[in-house]
Amino acid sequence: MLRVAAAYALVSWILIEAGSVLLPTFGVPEGIFKYYVIVVVVGFVIALIMSWAFEITPDGVRLESEVDRASYKPKPRDRMNRVIIALLVVALGISITFNVTGIRSDRDPLAESSIRDSIAVLPFSSRSTDAENQYFADGIHDDILTRLADVESLRVISRTSVNKYRNTTKNVRQIGKELGVAAIVEGAVQRSGDQVRITVQLIDAVTDEHIWAETFDKALTIENVFEIQSEISASIASSLRAALTPADELRLAAIPTDSIEAYAEYVKGRGNLSARTFTSLQDARAQFEHAIELDPDYAQAHAALAQSVLVMFSNHKSIPQPEAFAVAAAAIEKALSIDPQLAEAYAARGLLQLMQWESSRTGAGNVDAAASFRTALALSPSQADAYVWFASLRQSEGDIDAAVELLTRALTIDPLSRIPYLNLPSFYASRGQNAETTTMLLKAAAIFPDWSLPYGYLSNHLQKLGRLDEAVAWGLREMALTEDPMAGGALIGIYQEFGDDAAITDFVQSFPADHPFYPIGKSYWHYVTRDYKGALTEIESLDDPSSYPVDFVSGLMVGAAIMTGEFDRAYDYIINGHPSLAGDTDITIDHKNVYAAVLLAFIEQKRNRPKQARELLDKAQPVVAELPRLGMAGHGIKDVHVLTMQGRYSAAIDALIDAVNEGFVSSQAFDVWSFDQDPIIEPLRNDPRFSAIETQINIKIEAMRQNVEEARGSGDWSTLLDRTISESA
């Protein structure tokens, strides 16, 4: 009986260890495994009883009471002992494999990616046919999500990602796996007259079991609405055993506004701000302003207004820079005066400080921005936007590894957010990983097929890879998806290479006169038609040229001044646009100002200041060497420029040949002039090899021009679009 007990125990051990891994693999619920263990244990008891009651003899199985022990001697059990020892070795091997090598930990895909304190709040459904009730339900959902995001010990998936599951047919387990969370919140809202009913349930995303559920019936007042939200949020946090600090408890109990109408406007604005489109951002700004009119002390609405105008300027240039900065600064100050602990306001302040610092690259604005982002994340660890903007700051400072780390953390909170799918490709491009950049942008376009920006980024990237025909195809896709008149603007440089004046004219004539960039457009029109004096006249007639983006306006003014031979004027323009380059010593050159530094070196040579030019070139050369040549982060032929100005003409020609072999065909995407006009490489044109290089470039451009004309004539751009997709596969 002891041998049977030992053998059965070992077999049971093996069965339970194997079942703990194999049953979940086939989707068997955890409860079934419990019954599985019970059956094995009951079998052990039955085996003991059977071994005690029966004996195996040469005549078959007999009751123990029927066996004559005087005449029957059991055979030696050496074989049985060997079996038991073998089973013991197998059991130990399985146990070591499962528990030491980590196989057991992989039994559930969520085991590594989600922990007990990770949660997704799905959009609440509306149990009413009234469309306004859906806005109300969205508001309840949004506020609960925001309150939970402020709990330090919880990881809460952002609204952008959870909104993808509105009206989903996926089950809780699927959603939990996709979002990497351990718990899911579902809810429904019903309004009837002056009453509201809110039903909420918290579900374990691994087992699909209810953790907590409650129904709230209250009179429809703004106080009751926020009271319910606070109670729901606190109950969820408690059910997840999240540790609530006193600050957490205060934020959960906060009542941000006493106007239900202002609350409704704010909710609509949040939805439009998340969409990040040209039109939705304009709507969001108006809705936040209306919410503030209804309740001037609505801190969250002020913070959201600041975010909306900054994103409008950053993504679409649909608002003048001075207006965006002024509105944002005032809104942030007001928000923090009302609620000094508002994470959204600190995140917006960090974004404003980042954008202001990038416009001049002087002062400690980057340090201030980092401090604001850290404060925002300390107050609300699930602020995905703060991580995204913080990543942009680190990228701007040249710390790509830190930027990738921050953006990766943002994706754990908001895995379906749009902006990281644009920012990550730019980080890869900074490393020269152009194939990966193309693949990621195509992925972004596939995930968000109705969002124009991935198409525009892809068009710009392909243009800087020298694939001009493909760039046109994707740029036209961008233009078809948005009302933003700036969309497709980069194609003008390609049309100029193709000699397609009609396409340039069509773009300029269709540009709306009430757009903030319209006055710059007139100057740019003169520039691309090589009327450089006309370009300078137009741009200097503006009330405040500095109110426009530095990279655009400064380059335009400097280029026009150089082409007219007005080098003192060009110097003033470049220093006004890039004050960090002012002075003769202690100038720091990095990846952000190296293009301007190379231009400034050329201007200094023309101004007969060789010492200053030489120092600029010496500092610029190692920075250029670290940059990729092609792609959206490429420098083009800046190395050729540096070598030419250093008088190393043979080395410059060699570098130019390398550039063309890599795919370079056009200066328009990198510089303020076309290749045939480039004044910096003028000394190279006397080299016998230059003519062959130029011919090679022109042949490539002509072939791409014909591809575009063929696609335009047939209306079928699929060949060019498919080429991009197939080459990235």
How much of the chain exceeds pLDDT 70, in percent? Answer: 81
Structure tokens at 653: 């020609």
Measuring CA to CA, how many Å separate 130 from each of 200, 217, 264?
20, 19, 14
Per-residue pLDDT band for 158 (boundaries 50, 70, 90) equals: confident
Residue 204 has pLDDT above 80, yes or no: yes
DSSP state of 76: P
Measuring CA to CA, how many Å separate 71 from each of 65, 237, 297?
14, 73, 101
The answer to whether the CB of 363 falls within 8 A of the CB of 382 is no
- Give me the pLDDT at residue 284, please: 95
Work out the average pLDDT over 148-159.
80
- Give me the pLDDT at residue 209, please: 85
Write the CB contacts of 246 (distance below 8 Å, at least 6 apart in sequence): none
Structure tokens at 526: 């003169």
Can you say whether the dihedral through the CA atoms of 237, 239, 240, 244 is positive or negative?
positive
d(C-alpha 387, C-alpha 509), whole Å? 40
- Give me the pLDDT at residue 116, please: 52
Write the CB contacts of 34 (distance below 8 Å, at least 6 apart in sequence): none
d(C-alpha 561, C-alpha 567), whole Å? 7
Q: Name the CATH architecture for the domain at 532-626.
A: Alpha Horseshoe (1.25)
Measuring CA to CA, how many Å separate 466 from each of 220, 425, 470, 552, 663?
61, 18, 9, 21, 5
| CB atoms inside a 10 Å sphere around CB 411 | 19
The answer to whether the CB of 471 falls within 8 A of the CB of 463 is yes
d(C-alpha 131, C-alpha 123), whole Å? 15
Higher per-residue pLDDT: 155 or 248: 155
- Of 188, 200, 182, the residue nearest 240 (C-alpha): 182
The answer to whether the CB of 483 falls within 8 A of the CB of 681 is no
**Using CB atoms within 10 A of its CB, is residue 331 exposed (0-12), middle (13-18) or buried (19+)?**
buried
Work out the average pLDDT over 420-429.
89
d(C-alpha 201, C-alpha 185), whole Å? 6
- Of 267, 303, 20, 321, the residue nearest 134 (C-alpha): 267
The answer to whether the CB of 458 falls within 8 A of the CB of 724 is yes
DSSP state of 316: I
d(C-alpha 474, C-alpha 718), whole Å? 10
Strand extents, DSSP E, 10-140: 54-57, 60-63, 118-121, 125-126
Give the bridge partners for 192, in sequence order: 195
Q: Of how many residues is the chain composed? A: 729
Residue 463 has pLDDT above 90, yes or no: yes
- Give me the pLDDT at residue 360, please: 78
Of 117-126, 493-502, 515-524, 719-728, give the lowest mean pLDDT range: 515-524
d(C-alpha 394, C-alpha 81), whole Å? 67
- Describe the chain by its helix, strand, coil percentages, rounded to 5: 65, 5, 25
Residue 283's SS3 state is: helix
d(C-alpha 723, C-alpha 429), whole Å? 20
- Give me the pLDDT at residue 105, please: 43
Work out the average pLDDT over 153-173.
84
State the DSSP string of 536-560. HHHHHTSS-GGGS-HHHHHHHHHHH
Residue 101 has pLDDT above 50, yes or no: no
Write the CB contacts of 575 (distance below 8 Å, at least 6 apart in sequence): 581, 582, 600
Buried b (16+ CB within 10 A) or exposed e, 631-654: bbbbbbbbbbbbbbbbeebeebbe
Strand extents, DSSP E, 452-531: none
Higher per-residue pLDDT: 455 or 541: 455
Give the bridge partners for 217, in sequence order: 197
Query: What's the pLDDT tens digit per position in 622-641?
Result: 999 999 999 999 999 999 99
- Give me the pLDDT at residue 212, please: 83
Residue 182 has pLDDT above 70, yes or no: yes
d(C-alpha 249, C-alpha 424), whole Å? 36
- Give me the pLDDT at residue 417, please: 80
Query: What's the pLDDT tens digit per position in 76-97?
Result: 555 555 555 555 555 545 554 5
Long-range pairs for 158-162 at CB < 8 Å and ≥24 separation?
158/382, 158/384, 158/413, 158/414, 158/417, 159/270, 159/274, 160/274, 160/384, 160/414, 160/416, 160/417, 160/418, 161/120, 161/414, 161/415, 161/416, 161/417, 162/120, 162/121, 162/122, 162/123
Task: Pick left, alpha or beta for residue 515 (phi over 0 → left; psi -120 to 50 → alpha; otherwise beta).
Answer: beta
Give the bridge partners for 126, in sequence order: 189
How much of the chain exceeds pLDDT 90, in percent? Answer: 41
The answer to whether the CB of 291 falls within 8 A of the CB of 222 is no
| AA identity, residue 622 | P
Query: What's the pLDDT tens digit per position in 263-275?
Result: 889 988 988 898 8
Query: What's the pLDDT tens digit per position in 595-605?
Result: 999 999 999 99
DSSP state of 416: T
CATH of 112-255, one of 3.40.50.740, 3.40.50.10610, 3.30.470.160, 3.55.10.10: 3.40.50.10610
Residue 501's SS3 state is: helix
- Give me the pLDDT at residue 23, please: 52
Going from N- to C-terminal start, the domains of the chain cover 2-107, 112-255, 463-515+630-729, 532-626
d(C-alpha 276, C-alpha 308), whole Å? 9
Residue 219's SS3 state is: strand
d(C-alpha 404, C-alpha 401), whole Å? 5
Can you say whether the dihedral through the CA atoms of 528, 533, 535, 536 is positive or negative?
positive
Structure tokens at 33: 């495994």
| AA identity, residue 24 | P
Q: What is the value of pTM for the model shown?
A: 0.72
Per-residue pLDDT band for 486 (boundaries 50, 70, 90) equals: confident
532-626 matches 112-255 in CATH topology: no
The answer to whether the CB of 568 falls within 8 A of the CB of 576 is no
Phi and psi angles of residue 551, each rounded to the nearest 5 degrees, phi first? -60, -35
Residue 236 has pLDDT above 90, yes or no: no
